[in-house]
Amino acid sequence: MKCISHPLIRPESLEERRYQLSIALRALDGNTMVVLPTGLGKTAVALLVAASRLYSHSGRVLMLAPTKPLVEQHYRFFRKFLLTNDRGEPEDSDFAMFTGETPPAERAAAWERCRICFATPQVIKNDCIAGRYSLGEVSLLVVDECHRAVGHYAYVFLANHYATTATDPLLLAMTASPGGDTAKVQEVCGNLGIDAVESRTESDEDVRPYIHERDVQYIDVHLPDELKEAIADLRTLVESRLKKLAEVGFHVPKPQNLSMRALNQLNAAIQERIRSRDQAAFMAASLHAECMKLRHAISLTETQGSVALRLYLDRLGAEGRSTTGSKAAKRLVNDATFLSLVKRSREWTEELHPKVAITRELVRTQLEAYPESRIIVFATYRDTVQNLVNTITAGGIDCERFVGQATKDAEKGLSQKKQIEALARFRAGEFKVLIATSVGEEGLDVPSTDMVIFYEAVPSEIRSIQRKGRTGRSGAGKIVVLVAKGTSDEAFRYVSQSREKAMVSGIRNMSASPLPSLPTQDQAEPLPPPSATKQTSFTEFIATGPAITVDDREMSSRVVERLHELGASIDLSRLEQGDYAIGDRILVERKTDRDFVDTLVERDLFGQIKALAEAVPRPILIVEGGDIYTVRNIHPNAIRGTLVAITVGLGVTLLFSRDADDTANLLYVLAQREEGERGERKMHPRKSYRSRREEQEYVLASFPNIGLKHARLLLEHFGSLKAVIEADIAELVAVQGIGEKTAEALWDLSRRPYQ
């Protein structure tokens, strides 16, 4: 085996492959998207390009991946092959791995030391916006799973930010599955500033020697009578809802043709009539919600099984019996047909869908024939994953689930740390079967995985390719797809096959011809000043605009990205009230139109806004979207009464914005105005008070970091303003909520000579 020879790559360690070298050389000439089938070494290409840039440039390499397990995988790969000093060794300090669990101060310090950093994009985005470090000296930005670079995903922001701040930028984007939609692929290329696409398929001459055989087998599965009867009941329920919709003038699909496309078209018609204040349309929206729930139940029955259906029906029942449950759920749980189905489902003592038994038998047969095999089973839903784990484990085979971080219903998710640990045990052979949701589709490198089972077909060509790519990486592999006859499984099978072929054809065409010049993400109207250029230093750039404190829970929003583009100086913090703080007088709560109405109905909107009003002299509520009268079936007068109570009753300024960019523009103008008035404004705005108590609270609240809440606590504790001012630091700290820094500031300010 001939190996790569490079000063920064460990000798005799990395196999030399002609197509990888060819792609790497092209990628050094300009921003490049690399499309390679899974298992053909995209990470090796990234290593070659990174080694060349590190050898010829003084800057850093930044490699991004969407999940922590994938970040950790790249980190291990580079540590294994990359050398970073003249002694032919990797220096620990030259490698850094950032995740959200790493404290910001540690990330900033590690950034200054490292030569190559591996991170999730959201962490880097947050740090750049907060000004913790600059991408100015990054000589190579690697974007893995780059097909995600659409909409407001962090990749889009970082690519634009990198292009405008780096001294000598070069971007390498990588994916196995950019998608079959040419327009979407072009959008990705535009968002990342791609100059060229380098692709290979398994049929290319320079790739064929490294392709391992993968046998794809489709197994037809026939539903038992019990599940067919359950589907018939569910369709009867759907038919009755569609009939009611037809009676009020809506064009409805047939129950057997209840596709998501048809339901979305129906919803669009309902929303149009809601906007015209058609009262019948509000009931129609609730009936549509029932149809959505019933369609999901049908899909579960067809493709997942009786256990998944029973659990879903139980959740619907709990929602319908809850005081906060939707009207759609409440009507369902009072329907005799629905109740009969629920009763029958509880009598099913074991899984009725043949897929579970077939999966268990496939796993058993494979491990008997090849005891060292590694098998990954993909299933869409967590209920199915747990059902498979229970069934396979009961058969004496060790297996573990691999799901996302979020806790759903009563089931806890897996933290990224536990995901990494599970993958390490799987690689080491501590268990042979991994049962995974979609979180396992992207990038998992388990070289000895020789069987992948699709519990159901998936319509997405990207997901299908990602799943298939988990096997056949270092030897022959087998892929088995279970297809329930007469269900969406059959349609999805052919859809994904067609889209995969279209994707290959589209990528070949893009590789053969120059990319069109595409605009990046649409920008809102500009505001003066400032604009960043490559001649503007990062520190100067972030310091030019007005200061805005952003609650760290808002960091994923487009609002923060736009504020950064406008040049605002952003400080990240956890705010007790509000989402944005401007100076010491203004707090802003931001709500989308849907969130505003949902909070009014389901949560304590007035309590939230009242706390905002009590915290600062100038509270502001921004409602984004402006469709507050139609997003839910609530009488307009109820919403008008709420607006009056907020503005007149609580004294909160109410502003409306079109979208996230418009919200950011409002915040920027607010901050500019506040900063401009800072030197001359009165310390307290004019305000009439109803009592001496409020005057005392207001005076004390003006001290640094006190606010009305803490002012009341201090006055209740000490009894008067005089007693608070005369208290020593230890006495102040003894009051709940008053920290040492706040106490020191109050004590010092009250005793400092006036100059």
Fold match, 360-481 / 538-677: yes
**Residue 235: closest CA among 304, 326, 338:** 338
pLDDT confidence of residue 650: 87
**DSSP per-residue letters across 579-591:** SEEETTTEEEEEE
pLDDT bracket for residue 604 (50, 70, 90): confident
Asked if residue 692 has pLDDT above 80, the reply is no
Sheet bearing 449-454, strands edge to edge: 214-221, 477-484, 449-454, 374-378, 433-436, 399-402
The per-residue pLDDT for 543 is: 42
CB 226 within 8 A of CB 348: yes
Identify the residue with better confidence: 96 or 492. Answer: 96
- Among positive and negative, which fits the CA dihedral 426, 429, 434, 440? positive
Q: How far is CA 62 from CA 98, 132, 183, 443, 679, in A?
A: 11, 15, 28, 18, 42
The stretch 521-528 carries a mean pLDDT of 42
Range with the largest mean pLDDT of 201-205, 530-534, 748-752: 748-752
pLDDT of residue 74: 93
Task: Give the mean pLDDT of 382-403.
Answer: 91
* Mean of all residue pLDDT scores within the chain: 83
pLDDT digits (tens, 9 = 90+) for 545-572: 788 999 988 887 889 988 988 888 888 8
- Looking up tokens 């067919």 gives 228
Closest CA to 337 of 240, 228, 245, 224: 240
Quote the pLDDT of residue 475.
Answer: 57
Encode pLDDT of 232-256 as tens digits: 999 999 999 999 999 988 988 887 7
CATH value of 360-481 in 1.10.3720.10, 2.60.40.1240, 3.40.50.300, 2.40.10.340 = 3.40.50.300
Higher pLDDT, 445 or 131: 131
CA distance 129 to 541: 11
Predicted local confidence at residue 87, as pLDDT: 56
Report, as an integer, the average pLDDT of 572-589. Answer: 89
Give the pLDDT score at 416. 76
pLDDT number for residue 621:
94
Q: Which of 719, 754, 712 is nearest to 736 (CA)?
A: 712
Which pLDDT tens digit goes with each residue over 44-57?
999 999 999 998 88
Q: Is the pLDDT of residue 86 over 80?
A: no
Per CATH, the number for 692-751 is: 1.10.150.20
Residue 350: CB atoms within 10 A of its CB come to 9
Q: Does the pLDDT of residue 382 top 50, yes or no?
A: yes
pLDDT value for 519: 43
Cβ count near 257 (within 10 Å): 9
Q: At 672, which amino acid appears?
A: Q
Q: What is the mean pLDDT of residues 8-33?
A: 92
pLDDT of residue 458: 79
Architecture of domain 538-677: 3-Layer(aba) Sandwich (3.40)
Q: What is the pLDDT of residue 200?
A: 85
Q: What is the pLDDT of residues 457-488, one digit of tens each?
A: 877 666 666 666 656 555 567 889 999 998 88
In terms of C-beta density within 10 A (0-12 exposed, 13-18 middle, 19 or more buried), how is residue 520 classed?
Answer: middle
Q: Is the pLDDT of residue 526 over 60?
A: no
Q: Which two tokens stand for residue 700?
A: 């004390």
Domain coordinates in residue numbering, the chain: 18-210, 225-345, 360-481, 538-677, 692-751
Quick one: angle between helices 707-718 and 605-615, nearest 10? 70
Q: What is the mean pLDDT of residues 678-682?
A: 45
Confidence of residue 705 (pLDDT cuts 50, 70, 90): confident
pLDDT in tens, 144-193: 999 999 988 999 999 999 999 999 999 999 998 777 677 888 899 999 99
**Rounded Cα distance, 267 and 283, in Å:** 12
Identify the DSSP state of 648. I
Residue 172: the pLDDT is 97
Residue 701 has pLDDT above 70, yes or no: yes
Beta strands in 466-594, from DSSP E residues, in sequence order: 477-484, 547-551, 569-573, 580-582, 586-592
Q: What is the 3-state secondary structure (H, E, C) of 122-187?
A: HHHHHHHHHCCCCCCCEEEEEEECHHHCCCCCHHHHHHHHHHHHCCCCCEEEEECCCCCCHHHHHH
Among 182-196, 485-499, 587-601, which stretch is predicted with the lowest mean pLDDT?
485-499
Task: Quote the percentage of the chain above a pLDDT of 70.
Answer: 86
Please give the structure tokens belonging to residue 120. 């999730």
pLDDT at 622: 94
User: What confidence score (pLDDT) does residue 442 get?
Assistant: 61
Cβ of 11: how many Cβ atoms within 10 Å?
A: 12
Q: Between 596 and 448, name the one with better pLDDT.
A: 596
pLDDT band at 28 (very low <50, low <70, confident <90, very high): very high
Evaluate whether the domain defined by 18-210 bears CATH number 3.40.50.300.
Answer: yes
For the segment 268-311, what is each residue's pLDDT rounded down to a tens digit? 899 888 878 788 888 898 899 999 999 999 999 999 999 999 99
The residue with greater pLDDT, 41 or 64, is: 64
Per-residue pLDDT at 525: 43
Q: What is the C-alpha separation between 95 and 74, in angstroms, rounded?
A: 11
Residue 471: what pLDDT? 61
What pLDDT is stored for residue 684 in this prediction? 44
pLDDT at res. 199: 86
Q: Residue 655's beta-bridge partner residues? A: 622
Q: Is this prediction's pTM over 0.85?
A: no
Q: Across the strands, what pairs with 96? A: 117
The SS3 call for residue 95 is: strand
Confidence band of 515 (pLDDT split at 50, 70, 90): low
> What superfamily would CATH give domain 225-345?
hef helicase domain (1.20.1320.20)
The predicted pLDDT at position 596 comes to 87
Q: In this model, does residue 500 exceed pLDDT 60?
A: yes
Over residues 219-223, mean pLDDT = 93
How many angstroms separate the Cα of 246 from the Cα of each of 241, 271, 278? 9, 15, 15
pLDDT at 545: 78
pLDDT of res. 504: 67
* Helix or strand holding residue 710 (H, E): helix 707-718
More confident residue, 16 or 684: 16
Sign of CA dihedral 712, 714, 720, 722: negative
Overall average pLDDT of the 678-690 stretch: 44
Average pLDDT of the segment spanning 616-631:
86
pLDDT at site 670: 92
Which value, to the nearest 10 degrees, does the dihedral of the CA atoms of residues 79, 81, 82, 83 take? 100
| Whether the predicted pLDDT of 409 surpasses 90 | no
pLDDT at residue 303, as a whole number: 92
Q: What is the mean pLDDT of residues 358-366?
A: 94
